[in-house]
Amino acid sequence: MTTAPPTGRRYRPPAPLGGRRRVDSPKRRSAIAAAFLAPALIILGLFTIWPMLSALRLSFTDASGFGEPEWVGLENYIGVFTDPDLLNAVTNTALYTVLFTPVAVAAALGLALLLNNPRLPFRGFFRTALFVPFVVSFSVAAFAWSYLVDPQVGLLNYWLRGLGIQLGNVLEDPNLAMPMVVLVAVWKLFGFYFVIFLAGLQDIPTSIYEAARMDGAGAWSRLRNVTLPMLSNTMAFVLVFAMIAALQAFDQIYVMTGGGPYGSTQTLVMEIYESGFRKLEIGFASALSYVLLAATLLLSLVQFVFFGRKEKDLA
């Protein structure tokens, strides 16, 4: 068979038999690819890239929604790095990311590994039930959780008091407000990562496990040497999305604490929203979003390089 699939990572279509239909030149291949890509690229270019470039232009002006914006050079960026509120927002965003990402990903992975046990009863029910929070909007989730931890009539507060744990007014407590808004995000989003991990687990051929078992690998060894390496693609995907979700945290904070108490839940995107829509400092807000964009890109690149290398090691 001369048309065996190529072993390299890059796929090259086999030459058409008889050469009747076409000469598969690079030019022709590019034209076909362009036709497939055009609709999506037009939408992304017009409604994401272009507004982002406009924001770049605005970030060098004193745009405020009133009158013609004037060029102010780097003033907004200097403001970003000298604003005392901003250091707080950066620290909070980092704290949120460090709390959210490992907790959400570990919960999703742990539950997916446990649910992948074929002896577990009611697997379909658990899988469905754990995903349900993902379909609830952040604003509805924020409202339900605020009611649950209400210091007077909150059911969760009441039950925890029964266990001897005094939570007090969680959303007014500078030490507890941040863990609380992170908990809401974990609750809402972990089901999404969980389902992705489950799909990844199902893609691992059972023959590999049988081979490992024959070689005398125990459960722990199979997890470490088979499951986790085979999941590295899935893991990269989930980590990147969890991290982006964390860096862009906004909705539930906006509803639950408004950035308080004492700025303890004020994140970068909250700061962007406030300077852009409350104070109408559009230029400053645009500069701020470019700082966030740069931070996100940097962290994502580090992760892609790290996981990209791991993937090559496996091949």
Partner 1 sequence: MSTARRSLRDLRPSTVLTTIAFVIVTALVLLPIAIIVLTAFKPAAEVNAYPPSLLPDDWTLANLKTVTSELPFARLVGNSFVFAGGVTLFALVFDSLAAYALARLDFRGRKVLLVAIIATLMIPFQATLIPLYQLVADLGWVNTYTGLIAPRAADAFGIFFLRQFFLALPRDIDQAARIDGAGEFRIFRSVVLPNAVPALLTLGLFTFVNNWNDLLWPLVFTTDAEMGTITSGLTQLTGPSGIVPHGVMMAGSLIAILPLVIAFLFIQRRFIENIATTGLK
When asked if residue 81 is in the footprint of partner 1 (CB under 8 A), the reply is no
Those residues whose C-beta lies under 8 Å from the C-beta of residue 144, and which sit 6 or more positions away, are 136
Which of 25, 26, 164, 278: binder of partner 1 (CB under 8 A)? Answer: 26
> Binding string to partner 1 for residues 199 to 228, with x set by CB under 8 A, is what?
x--xx-x-----------------------
Question: Which residues inside 242-281 make contact with partner 1, applying CB under 8 A?
Answer: 244, 247-248, 250-251, 255, 269, 272-273, 276
Choose among 118, 110, 108: nearest CA to 245: 108
Measure the CA–CA gap between 151 and 140, rounded to whole angstroms. Answer: 19
Amino acid letter at 65?
A: G
**How near is the Cβ of 51 to partner 1 at its closest, in Å?**
4
Adjacent-strand bridge partners of 260: none
When asked if residue 296 is in the footprint of partner 1 (CB under 8 A), the reply is yes
Measure the CA–CA gap between 203 and 292, rounded to whole angstroms. Answer: 35
**How near is the Cβ of 157 to partner 1 at its closest, in Å?**
8
Choose among 229, 227, 190, 238: nearest CA to 116: 227
**How near is the Cβ of 265 to partner 1 at its closest, in Å?**
16
Which of 187, 193, 197, 284: binder of partner 1 (CB under 8 A)? Answer: 187
Where does residue 260 fall: left (phi above 0), alpha (psi -120 to 50 degrees), or beta otherwise? beta
The span of 96-104, 110-118, 164-172, 307-315 binding partner 1 (CB under 8 A) equals: 110-118
When asked if residue 44 is in the footprint of partner 1 (CB under 8 A), the reply is yes
**How near is the Cβ of 166 to partner 1 at its closest, in Å?**
15
Nearer to partner 1, 16 or 174 (CB): 16
When asked if residue 13 is in the footprint of partner 1 (CB under 8 A), the reply is yes
Question: Which residues inside 114-173 make contact with partner 1, applying CB under 8 A?
Answer: 114-115, 117, 119-122, 124-141, 143-145, 147-148, 152-156, 158
Which of 77, 209, 290, 307: binder of partner 1 (CB under 8 A)? Answer: 290
- Decide: helix, strand or coil at residue 153: coil
Where does residue 32 fall: left (phi above 0), alpha (psi -120 to 50 degrees), or beta otherwise? alpha
Helix and strand tally (H, E) in the chain?
15, 0
The span of 79-87, 164-172, 196-204, 224-232 binding partner 1 (CB under 8 A) equals: 196-204
**How near is the Cβ of 297 to partner 1 at its closest, in Å?**
5
When asked if residue 46 is in the footprint of partner 1 (CB under 8 A), the reply is yes
Number of other CB atoms surrounding residue 267 within 10 Å: 29
